[in-house]
Structure 1
Amino acid sequence: MMTSKIKLLVIDDDDINIFIIKKIVEKTGYNVEMISKTNGQIAIDYLAGVVSSAEQLPQLILIDINMPVLNGWEFLEAYEKLGIAQSVDMYMLSSSVYENDIEKAKTYSTVKGFISKPLSIERLTELLKLVERQSSGF
């Protein structure tokens, strides 16, 4: 397991869900810095600030679909306008069971997949393992 920290951004308006993800992160055993934002607009503002200050971008972003201000889809549109060249592993994390949401997620080149809530320890461990492999250049 890698000792450098993995930066995870969770975009979800549900405090309980954020708390659960935080607990799951702790159980994976990975060194993770988890940042949470409660809607897409706050997340876009945060990422724009990260880019302008040349800080490290999150390597993994989990996005809820249904949120106030900017929902998950609107976040993706705004994210693409930021022009971030660095590849970030982004996954839609939603309680939506609509097939069209899953299909819509596939239309975004920035989205690597669709995860149904609740997030499991096993699934998050898989994602962190992928991030780790990419950071070490395989």
Structure 2
Amino acid sequence: MSDSKLNLLVIDDDDINIFIIKKIVEKTGFNIDMIARNNGQQAIDYLTDTISQNKPLPSLVLIDINMPVMNGWEFIEAYEELSIEQKVDMYILSSSVYENDIEKTKGYKTVRGFISKPLSMERLTELIKAIR
């Protein structure tokens, strides 16, 4: 496993969830730079700026569904329109228990899966190991 820094983008409007994920990231012991944005539009703006500055894109993106301004589904659609060629592992991270949300996840080519909140350290470790 490489010791290179992994960029993680968390898109969630709940600051408590962001705080919890940050603590989980710290406990994994991996070299992770976590960036959080509170809605899909902020995340699209961040990615657009990152691309224009030739900075590394996130390797892993965790996306909440229900957010103001631009929700998770709208973010994914806007992301796919950016035509980013670099492989980015994206997962829906949601408290939704609706089967249609889980099924809808499968309809997006850029989304690798659905994770139910709360995120566990074990699950995050699995995701990181799969990337490296």
TM-score bracket, normalised by the shorter chain, equals: over 0.9
Superposed CA RMSD: 0.6
Q: What is the distance in 1 between the residues matched to 2:105 and 2:13?
A: 19
Amino acid at match of 1:128: I
**How far is the alpha carbon of 1:131 from its aligned partner?**
1.2
Runs of 4+ aligned residues of structure 1 deviating over 2 Å after TM superposition are none
Matched, 1:20 2:20: yes
Name stretches of at least 5 consecutive residues in structure 1 with no aligned partner. Answer: 133-138
**How far is the alpha carbon of 1:29 from its aligned partner?**
1.1
- What aligned pairs does 1:28-43 form with structure 2 within 5 A after superposition? 28-43=28-43
Name stretches of at least 5 consecutive residues in structure 2 with no aligned partner. Answer: none
Q: What is the distance in 2 between the residues matched to 1:29 and 1:53?
A: 28
Q: Which moved more, 1:93-102 or 1:78-87?
A: 78-87
Show the counterpart of 1:57: 57
Give the TM-score of the pair, scaled to structure 2: 0.98
Show the counterpart of 1:98: 98
> CA deviation digits over 1:104-128, x for unaligned, max 9?
0000010000000000000000001
- What aligned pairs does 1:1-138 form with structure 2 within 5 A after superposition? 1-132=1-132
Show the counterpart of 1:135: none
Amino acid at match of 1:29: G
Give the TM-score of the pair, scaled to structure 1: 0.94
